[in-house]
Amino acid sequence: MLVAHDPMASATPPASPIRARKGSDRKERLLQAASRVLLRHGVQALTLEAVAREARTSKGGLLHHFPSKARLRASLLDDLIARLQRDLLRFSAADPDPRGRRLRAYVQALVAPDPACNRPVILAALLADPEALRRWQGFSDAWLDPDLNGIEPGRAHAVRALVEGSWLAIALGLGPADPAGLTAALQDLLRLAQV
C-alpha cells in the first residue's frame, strides 16, 4: 500500500490560539510601555532598557518581540496607524454621503475629543524618525486621495491643512483642551468638509 508523504506532518505544529493571544497581549503591553516612556520622558529616553523597565519585563523578553529599537519604533507607529485606521473606517462607515466621506472621517478621527490614537505619542513617534513622518504622510495621502477627486481641490486641501494644524495644536497642548471647545472646532471643520 502506498502512503502519500505529508510534508507538514513533520513540521512544527502551529502555535495554539491561546499562545498566540498571549504573545499578542505581551506585544501590546510592550507598545503601551513604549508610549508611556515617550510621553513621560521624550524621544531621547525611548531605549530598549527603558521600555523593558516600564513594562516590567527583561530586555530579552522585549527583544523577543522587537529585535531592535528601530523595529520597536516602527511597530509603535504601525500600531498607532492601525488605531487611526479603525477610527477612520468607523467614521466613514457611519457617514451616509459618499462624496467627501473620507475627508470628514479624517476630520473626526484627528480632531475628535476622545481619539482612539494618542496624539502626543504619534507626534513623538513622528519627530523621532524622518521615515516615520514619510510613512504617516503616505498613509494620510492614501486615505484621502480617493476622496479628493470629488471635492474642489482648494477646499479639500484647505480643510486638510486646517485639520492637520488643529491636530498638531491639540497634540502640543495649544488647542482647545475642554471637550466643548474640541466639539465646536470639530463641527466647524465638518461643515467645511461638506461637499
- pLDDT score of 12: 46
Segment among 29-33, 135-139, 173-177 with least mean pLDDT:
173-177
- Give 65's pLDDT tier (boundaries 50, 70, 90): very high
Cell numbers for 105: 472621517
| Distance of alpha carbon 192 from alpha carbon 169, whole angstroms | 19
Q: Is the pLDDT of residue 5 over 80?
A: no
Please say whether the beta carbons of 162 and 110 come within 8 A: no
Cell numbers for 120: 502626543
Q: Is the pLDDT of residue 73 over 60?
A: yes
Tell me what the pLDDT averaged over the chain comes to.
83
Long-range contacts of 159-166, Cβ-Cβ distance < 8 Å, separation of 24 or more:
159/103, 159/107, 159/189, 159/192, 159/193, 160/103, 160/106, 162/189, 162/192, 163/106, 163/107, 163/110, 163/111, 163/189, 164/110, 164/140, 166/110, 166/111
Instruction: Report which of residues 42 and 109 the model is more confident about.
Output: 109
- pLDDT score of 3: 41
Instruction: Report which of residues 108 and 8 the model is more confident about.
Output: 108
**Which segments of the chain belong to CATH 1.10.357?**
73-195
Domain 17-67 has CATH 1.10.3210: no
Domain 73-195 class, CATH top level? mainly alpha
Q: What confidence tens digit (pLDDT) does each residue in 100-125 have?
A: 899 999 999 988 876 667 788 888 88
Instruction: Report which of residues 12 and 71 the model is more confident about.
Output: 71
**Which segments of the chain belong to CATH 1.10.10?**
17-67
Q: Is the pLDDT of residue 4 over 70?
A: no
Please say whether the beta carbons of 144 and 102 come within 8 A: yes
